[in-house]
Structure 1
Amino acid sequence: MSPEMVMSLAYQGMKVTLMMAAPLLLTALLIGLLVSLFQAATQINEMTLSFIPKILGVFAMLIVSGAWMIQLLVNFTRELLQNIPQMVS
């Protein structure tokens, strides 16, 4: 296995990881921003107020993009397993 192949696998793995995490993290970020704006406008300074909307938003995003995320992971795993003979030689 050449160093170029190792770096290519690492790059692909990081790309898949970012593509899977981005929708969930962006959802949590946007909901956190909206809740903080609401808290600033109403002067409600409860720290635990943002957790439930974030959890519900991330769960909803998992439902919406779950099939795409699973397909992405299955394609990466299938490609990885199919390339094992080329990696060994």
Structure 2
Amino acid sequence: MGELDLLNLSKTVLVSATLVSMPILVAVGAVGLVVSLVQALTQVQEQSLSFVPKLLAGVGTVLALGSWMLTVLTDLAVMLLGSLGTPS
């Protein structure tokens, strides 16, 4: 496997990891922002009030998009395993 092949594989892995993790990060970040604004407006600073909604947003996102994430990661694994057998 040449340097260019390794570089392309690394790029593909990083893009796939970003693509799969981004919906979770966006959902948790948006919920965290809304909860922080509500806490600032109401002056309630309870840690569990910020943790539980973010946890539920993360779990809900994984439940909603889990099959798509699994498909992306499975396609990546098949591509990586398929490239192991090819000589450079």
**TM-score exceeds 0.5:** yes
Partner of 2:81: 81
* Letter of the structure 2 residue corresponding to residue 21 of structure 1: S
Please report the TM-score for the alignment, with normalisation by the length of structure 2.
0.93
Alignment of 1:9-48 (within 5 A): 9-48=9-48
**Which runs of at least 4 in structure 1 moved beyond 3 Å after TM superposition?**
none
Runs of 5+ consecutive residues of structure 2 not aligned to the other structure: none
Q: Give the % identical residues.
A: 31
Q: CA RMSD in A?
A: 1.0
For structure 1, which runs of at least 5 residues remain unmatched after alignment?
Answer: none
* CA distance in structure 2 between the partners assigned to 1:68 and 1:51 by the alignment: 26
Q: CA deviation at 1:16?
A: 0.8
Structure 2 match to 1:50: 50
In 2, Cα distance between equivalents of 1:47 and 1:53: 11
| Structure 1 counterpart of 2:59, one-letter code | F
Count of residue pairs brought into register by the alignment? 88
Single out whichever of 64-73 and 19-28 deviates more from structure 2. 19-28
Local SS of the residue matching 2:85: helix
